[in-house]
């Protein structure tokens, strides 16, 4: 039944969203849901592996980094956890019915967004600037990301139900959009705001072009890709002033809330181990003097849940140029496949997956995407990529 797929997708996404509230239940729910996919959808397992095997190369490489890591046992342990995270994402995008993927995402994000309005909290974000809304998340930036992803999934669900002529449900979905926009604004998270704006524009353009001839769709898609790639390539020029505008309002220093100093340390580490890096998760460890220094400098009293706030730097620090090459090759291949399929067959699930890739791509230089264990960007990002790699016959339920 498609309902089972929807429930499993919703459980995985909700486990990540409510991680602050449920704590250690999050990995148990994610791993348990992945196991349920294997047991209940075993007939789809081999086709998924046959189609999505390139994505599985990444966790395999991460686990192999234990062979050169200074802390091999730690690297292997976290490599296995990363592999479980990636597999959970691939199962969402490669095994679950495409329609269930949309609805499961929508249900989880809509529930979280409504509960955040009812029970969320404000957090300070600078001297004299007032407060920002963090909802039920650990920070305003994380809540901004959740609000952006909620916007994407809601618009996709609205389009899905409209296509099925379920007008009342589509209208209910559309009614959530102003609430999600308000959440995004109140979060005052610059990168989430920019990423969501670009991704939503792409999503709406893709949906609007579904009925056009393939030549027109191709032109819109290619133009959109060029604009997005241009925005990413020139991000160092236009995004810092945008950050500065928000930082001026908050009374914080320029320098991207401390990221510039953090990146300087990261560049030093990359020069010391350029080829293979330190090994997965071999840097952010208690007792590592460099990590302890950065935690103190950035005010991270918990000494956990921190990174270099740059995907490329995080990958190079831990797996070097070899790892960066492997990750880039797999990601580029999967993204190209996804966008080509969306161009040839603009089904709503493929269109939504493309918008998710755009959202995460806009954050690569300022956040760590797809490289952390039990993290929403890893699971949802790999689910979107798996959607583009899954066999064409398995997409028969898309609309």
Print the domain residue range for 360: 2-393
d(CA 355, CA 361): 10
Global pTM value: 0.91
How many residues make up the chain in this entry? 399
pLDDT of residue 376: 95
Indicate whether 398 belongs to any domain: no
Evaluate whether residue 354 is within a structural domain: yes
* 134 falls within a domain: yes
Query: Does residue 286 fall inside a structural domain?
Result: yes
Could you tell me if residue 81 is inside a domain? yes
313 touches 266 (CB < 8 A): yes
What is the chain's mean pLDDT, rounded?
88
pLDDT at 251 over 50: no
Ramachandran angles phi, psi of 321, nearest 5°: -65, -30
Over residues 23-39, the pLDDT tens digits come to 999 999 999 999 999 99
Check: CB of residue 173 under 8 Å from CB of residue 224: no
Instruction: List, in order, residues 6 or more apart from 397 with CB less than 8 Å away.
Output: 2, 97, 98, 99
Nearest CA to 322 among 66, 79, 83, 62? 62
pLDDT tens track for 65-118: 999 998 999 999 999 999 999 999 999 999 999 999 999 999 999 999 999 999
For residue 281, pLDDT beyond 70: yes
Per-residue pLDDT tens for 105-148?
Answer: 999 999 999 999 999 999 876 554 558 899 999 888 899 999 99
Please give the backbone phi and psi of residue 129, each rounded to the nearest 5 degrees, phi first. -100, -5
Q: How far is CA 348 from CA 22, 122, 182, 387, 395, in A?
A: 32, 35, 25, 11, 11
Residue 399, in any domain of the structure: no
Indicate whether 213 pLDDT > 50. Answer: yes
The structure tokens listed for 381 are: 């990002």
Please tell me the total count of domains within the chain: 1
pLDDT class of 190 with cuts at 50, 70, 90? confident
Please tell me the distance from the alpha carbon of residue 312 to that of residue 371, in angstroms, as a whole number. 10
Within a domain: residue 124?
yes
Indicate the pLDDT class of residue 397, thresholds 50, 70 and 90.
Answer: very low
Q: What is the structure's pLDDT at 302?
A: 73
For residues 123 and 167, the answer to whether their CB atoms sit within 8 Å is no
Q: Is residue 325 part of a domain?
A: yes
């Amino acid at each position: 039944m498609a309902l089972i797929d929807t429930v499993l997708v919703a459980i995985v996404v909700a486990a990540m969203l409510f991680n602050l509230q449920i704590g250690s239940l999050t990995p148990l729910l994610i791993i348990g849901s992945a196991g349920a996919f294997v047991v209940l959808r075993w007939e789809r397992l081999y086709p998924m592996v046959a189609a999505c095997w390139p994505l599985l190369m990444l966790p395999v490489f991460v686990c192999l980094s234990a062979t050169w890591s200074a802390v091999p046992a730690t690297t292997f342990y976290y490599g296995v956890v990363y592999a479980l995270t990636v597999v959970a994402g691939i199962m969402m995008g490669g095994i679950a019915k495409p329609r269930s993927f949309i609805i499961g995402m929508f249900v989880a994000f809509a529930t979280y967004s409504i509960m955040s309005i009812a029970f969320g909290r404000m957090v300070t974000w600078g001297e004299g600037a007032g407060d920002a809304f963090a909802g039920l998340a650990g920070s305003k930036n994380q809540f901004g990301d959740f609000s952006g992803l909620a916007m994407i999934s809601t618009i996709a669900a609205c389009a899905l139900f409209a296509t099925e002529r379920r007008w009342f449900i589509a209208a209910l979905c559309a009614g959530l959009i102003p609430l999600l926009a308000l959440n995004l604004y109140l979060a005052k998270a610059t990168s989430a705001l920019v990423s969501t704006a670009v991704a939503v524009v792409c999503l709406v353009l893709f949906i609007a072009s579904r009925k056009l001839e393939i030549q027109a769709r191709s032109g819109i898609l290619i133009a959109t890709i060029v604009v997005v790639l241009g925005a990413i390539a020139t991000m160092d020029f236009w995004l810092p002033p945008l950050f500065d505008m928000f930082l001026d309002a908050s009374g914080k220093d320029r320098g991207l809330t401390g990221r510039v100093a953090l990146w300087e340390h990261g560049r030093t580490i990359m020069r010391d181990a350029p080829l293979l890096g330190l090994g997965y998760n071999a840097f952010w460890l208690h007792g590592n003097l460099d990590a302890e220094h950065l935690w103190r400098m950035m005010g991270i009293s918990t000494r956990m849940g921190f990174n270099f706030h740059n995907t490329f730097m995080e990958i190079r620090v831990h797996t070097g140029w070899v790892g960066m090459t492997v990750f880039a090759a797999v990601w580029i291949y999967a993204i190209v496949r996804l966008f080509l399929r969306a161009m040839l067959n603009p089904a709503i699930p493929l269109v939504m997956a493309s918008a998710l890739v755009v959202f995460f791509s806009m954050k690569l230089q300022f956040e760590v995407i797809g490289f952390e264990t039990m993290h929403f960007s890893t699971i949802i990002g790999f689910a979107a990529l798996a959607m583009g790699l899954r066999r064409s016959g398995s997409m028969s339920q898309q609309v």
